[in-house]
């Protein structure tokens, strides 16, 4: 009996170490960030969103519909308010344009403006056009684990690669272990100062996936400045959506889609 116990203990310890090694090798920090980033993409997607810009003295809401194919093609149509209705933002590979119906002009947005505010919000052109810079331009390392909003999360630090032309000196992400949803992202400048914080909540099933339906981008340098995004409908693998939809020639023809809004309760 005395010999059996050490044998069982050694067997358990061996199994535990092998299991722990398998888990650690299962997914790198970069792979985890990429999978979290890709949750909203798929082969193609369609979404209906409302963005609310909050300032100390005022707030305004903007409604929009967006289409995408992978990471290269993305189009957003503004559907309200009236003064912005019909405005289109188009991303085709590394190029981005803005169609303004009031003056019937298509304006190309240069790379130097990708980090500028989008529609006066706390999100940038880069944020809304789903550039995958956080996957390709940074070194990803695990920084521990924390519990956030009831979820066990991996904490991952992103440090810019030497050759990367990025604005952030560091990014810190909290990704839920269970579903790989990015619940919190902190953005720091090159001096280590926290500039803005993005949080995600109201997780529900949309388009067959468990996703956050509410995002907030809060400024850490401007008191009372934040932007909220509520996803009201999400669909993946959109039938009939092709690459020619994302063309300069098509932006004047894009019309809003009438849909039954997603009313699934959040978890």
Report, as an integer, the average pLDDT of 166-173.
92
Q: Quick check: 44 and 69 in contact, CB under 8 A?
A: yes
pLDDT at 21 over 70: no
The whole domain housing 48 covers: 27-74+117-239
Examine the pLDDT at 14 and tell me if it is beyond 60: no
* 210 domain residue, yes or no: yes
- Across 34-65, b (16+ Cβ under 10 Å) vs e yields bebbebbbbebbbbbbebebbeeeeeeebbbb
- Does residue 53 fall inside a structural domain? yes
Q: What is the pLDDT of residue 22?
A: 38
40 or 173, greater pLDDT? 173
> Is 246 within a domain?
no
pLDDT, mean of residues 97-115:
90
pLDDT the model gives residue 265: 53
CATH of the domain at 191: 2.50.20.10
Count CB atoms within 10 A of the CB of residue 4: 8
**Averaged over 171-180, what is the pLDDT?**
96
Does residue 203 lie in a domain region?
yes
Higher pLDDT among residues 215 and 17, named by residue: 215
* The pair of three-digit structure tokens given for residue 250, joined into one six-digit string: 């098509």
Residue 186 lies in a domain: yes
Q: Would you say residue 120 has pLDDT above 60?
A: yes
What is the C-alpha end-to-end distance of the chain, expressed in Å? 50
pLDDT band (50, 70, 90) for residue 222: very high
Mean pLDDT of the chain: 87
| Structure confidence at residue 26 (pLDDT) | 66
Give the pLDDT confidence of 122-146 residue by residue, as tens digits.
998 877 665 668 898 999 999 999 9
Confidence of residue 5 (pLDDT cuts 50, 70, 90): very low
d(CA 92, CA 109): 12
* CA separation for the pair 98, 74 (Å, rounded): 12
Number of domains in the chain: 1
């Amino acid at each position: 009996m005395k010999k059996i116990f050490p044998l069982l203990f050694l067997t358990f310890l061996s199994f535990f170490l092998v299991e722990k090694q398998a888990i650690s090798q299962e997914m790198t920090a970069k792979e985890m960030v990429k999978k979290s980033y890709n949750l909203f993409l798929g082969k193609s997607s369609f979404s209906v969103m409302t963005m609310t810009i909050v300032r100390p003295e005022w707030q305004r809401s903007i409604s929009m519909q967006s289409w995408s194919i992978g990471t290269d093609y993305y189009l957003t149509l503004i559907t309200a308010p009236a003064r912005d209705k019909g405005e289109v933002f188009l991303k085709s590979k590394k190029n981005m344009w803005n169609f303004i119906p009031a003056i019937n002009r298509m304006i190309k947005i240069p790379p130097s403006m990708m980090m500028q505010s989008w529609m006066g919000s706390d999100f940038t052109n880069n944020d809304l056009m789903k550039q995958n810079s956080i996957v390709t331009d940074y070194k990803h390392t695990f920084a521990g684990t924390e519990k956030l909003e009831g979820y066990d999360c991996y904490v991952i630090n992103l440090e810019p690669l030497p050759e990367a032309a990025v604005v952030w000196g560091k990014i810190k992400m909290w990704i839920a272990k269970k579903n790989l949803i990015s619940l919190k992202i902190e953005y720091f400048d090159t001096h280590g100062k926290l500039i803005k914080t993005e949080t995600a909540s109201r997780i529900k099933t949309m388009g067959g996936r468990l996703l956050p339906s509410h995002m907030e981008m809060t400024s850490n340098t401007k008191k009372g400045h934040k932007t909220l995004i509520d996803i009201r409908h999400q669909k993946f693998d959109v039938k009939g959506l092709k690459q020619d939809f994302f063309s300069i020639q098509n932006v004047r023809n894009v019309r809003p889609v009438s849909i039954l809004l997603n009313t699934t309760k959040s978890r």
